[in-house]
Amino acid sequence: MEQAIATERGGYQDEACALAEQAQALAREHQERGHQAYALRLLGDIAARRDPPEGEPAVAHYQQALALAEALGMHPLQAHCHHGLGTLYARRGQGEQARPELATAIEMYRAMDMTFWLPQAEVVLAQVGEVD
C-alpha cells in the first residue's frame, strides 16, 4: 500500500490506482477488513485528485471505506474519509455536500488531537463558506 501512495504522490496515478486495487483485492481475499478500508480510501484519494476529479468513483470508494471504518471503529480513517469527501465536493463546487463532511472531519480531528490535518480541513471549509 505504501508503494501505491508513493507512486500516486509521484504523479503516476494510473500505476498507483492499479497498486491500490491490488492491495484492496488482497485485503478482501485475506479478509483483512482494516487494510481493505485503507485501500478503498486510497482509491478514493486517487480518483479525487485526478484532473478533472473522477467524482462518482471517488465518492463510492470513500463511502465504502467509511462504512468499513465505522464498523471496525477506525476513527482516524473515518475522519480522513470525511475530509476526502468534503474536499472532493468543494473541488466540484458542491458546497452544501462539502460543509457537513468537512465539519465532521474537523470535529473528529479535534477530538483525537490530530492537529496535522486539522488546518487543512479548516482551510477548505473556509473556502467553501466564502463561495456560497
Identify whether 52 is preceded by a cis peptide bond (ω within 30 of 0): yes
Mean pLDDT of 110-127: 95
Rounded to two decimals, what is the model's pTM? 0.88
What does pLDDT average to over the chain? 88
Residues 67, 29 contacting (CB under 8 angstroms): no
* Per-residue pLDDT at 101 exceeds 50: yes
Query: In the 8-state DSSP scheme, what is residue 51?
Result: S
Please state the rounded mean pLDDT for residues 66-88. 97
What pLDDT is recorded for position 93? 92
Strand blocks (E) in the chain:
none
